[in-house]
Amino acid sequence: MKTHGAVLRGPGDWEVVELELVDPGPGQVLVEMAYAGLCHSDEHLRHSNPGGRYPIVGGHEGSGVVVAVGPGVTAVAPGDHVVTSFLPACGHCRFCAAGRSNLCDKGATIASGQLPSGTFPFRLDGEPLGGFCMIGAFAEHTLLSEFSCVKVDPWIPLDTAALVACSVPTGWGSAVYSGGVRPGDTVVVVGLGGVGANAVQGAVHAGALHVVGADPVALKREFAESVGATHTVASAEEAAGLARHLSRGTGADVVVVTVGKMSAEVMKGAMSCLGKGGTLVLTALADRVSDGNVGLSGQLATVFEQRIQGSLFGSCNPFTDIPMLLRLHEEGRLELDRLITRRYSLDQLNEGYRDQAAGETIRGLLDHSLT
């Protein structure tokens, strides 16, 4: 079938094109996308795609409705509402079996978008191409592995549901799982966008005594306070002084780095907040792999017994945590709706990312029904 979607032919801007979509094969699911979040990971893709290839269809944080399923698919059926999991979870590989499905071996091709069967789902001018993270949520229709489809309750609005595909679990889990925040902790969250705001919510749920948010943008600081940050400041340097004061001298127990762009400078600021026995959680990405190199005082890490913990998808399991987070939202315990600042049509995608770069959005949302 034919569909439309936003692609990158190489580093540069998004281009809306007509795509050919292959029919669902074994284990594959055809989905009509409803919404896609404007995540910063797709913005990084505009600069480089390490381990991947161009052209590629963007978008990995999405929700939609199943249109058709290929042979052998039993987990979902036509009409089901699904949230995309930007990391597939096969359930059987070493990491899935051990309860670490965010490291599923089937995720090896998320940068190229090749499905586990080896199929590239799209064709552009006859050339095979994939969707970012094996999703391609910036296309009106996409073909997913059943390992990437999380069925959700049909009464949950699909715009709300799209957010739990990436930014919400990534932020929430960075505090709760990767950082292991405990009751009474002092937590610093560096960067208060779509991911950082949810790290704040996670730290609150885990019982943190103080949650200090750092971001230069006033809109984001105000939002973080509205979801439970006890203090907000403009920079990591200010957060460091505050964390030491609030913790009565030791520094933050957990620091979560959720800025738009990782860099050595960001790392230095984050480390300055970290206290004795603390854990620094790296959730942010850089535009290029080399930009993400970070410095660390090994001597201080040794004597203060500090940990540096990388965090992918907030160490969440898509098939348990996505439904759980939606239940928290249903019960009024997790803010989702107010995370959406603006909605864009497919043709307005570049504008949406410009708004994000200007610090004007917590989360922009691509609404496929807008023209």
Q: Is it true that the peptide bond before 55 is cis, omega within 30 degrees of 0?
A: yes
Q: How far is the CB of 166 from Zn ion (least distance, A)?
A: 3
Closest CA to 266 of 285, 251, 250, 279: 285
Q: Which is nearer to Zn ion, 69 or 166 (CB)?
A: 166
The answer to whether the beta carbons of residues 57 and 177 sit under 8 Å apart is: no
Q: Which is nearer to Zn ion, 104 or 227 (CB)?
A: 104
Q: How far is the CB of 317 from Zn ion (least distance, A)?
A: 11
Give the whole-angstrom CA distance, residue 40 versus residue 296: 25
Q: How far is the CB of 305 from Zn ion (least distance, A)?
A: 32
Q: Count CA atoms closer than 13 A to 318's CA, side-chain side.
A: 33
For 337, counting Cβ atoms within 10 Å of its Cβ (0-12 exposed, 13-18 middle, 19+ buried), the class is exposed
SS3 282: strand
Q: Which is nearer to Zn ion, 58 or 275 (CB)?
A: 58
Q: How far is the CB of 107 from Zn ion (least distance, A)?
A: 8
Q: Which is nearer to Zn ion, 90 or 243 (CB)?
A: 90
Q: Which is nearer to Zn ion, 33 or 96 (CB)?
A: 96
Residue with tokens 């708004």: 355
Q: How far is the CB of 61 from Zn ion (least distance, A)?
A: 5
Which two structure tokens, joined as six digits, stand for 117?
A: 């069967």
Give the whole-angstrom CA distance, residue 46 versus residue 19: 19
Give the whole-angstrom CA distance, residue 10 versus residue 52: 11
Q: Are strands 210-214 and 231-233 parallel, antiparallel or unpaired?
A: parallel
Which two structure tokens, joined as six digits, stand for 211?
A: 């949650």
Q: Which is nearer to Zn ion, 186 or 311 (CB)?
A: 311
Residue with tokens 């930009």: 291
Q: How far is the CB of 233 from Zn ion (least distance, A)?
A: 25
Q: Which is nearer to Zn ion, 275 or 352 (CB)?
A: 352
Which two structure tokens, joined as six digits, stand for 201?
A: 């919510």
The answer to whether the beta carbons of residues 102 and 316 sit under 8 Å apart is: yes
Q: How far is the CB of 297 from Zn ion (least distance, A)?
A: 30
Q: Helix crossing, 264-273 with 236-246: angle to 10°?
A: 10
For 228, counting Cβ atoms within 10 Å of its Cβ (0-12 exposed, 13-18 middle, 19+ buried), the class is middle
Q: How far is the CB of 284 from Zn ion (least distance, A)?
A: 11
Q: Which is nearer to Zn ion, 194 or 251 (CB)?
A: 194
Q: Which is nearer to Zn ion, 213 or 260 (CB)?
A: 260
Q: How far is the CB of 183 from Zn ion (least distance, A)?
A: 29
Binding site for Zn ion (CB under 5 A): 39, 41, 61, 90, 93, 96, 104, 166
Partners of 32 in beta bridges:
65, 141
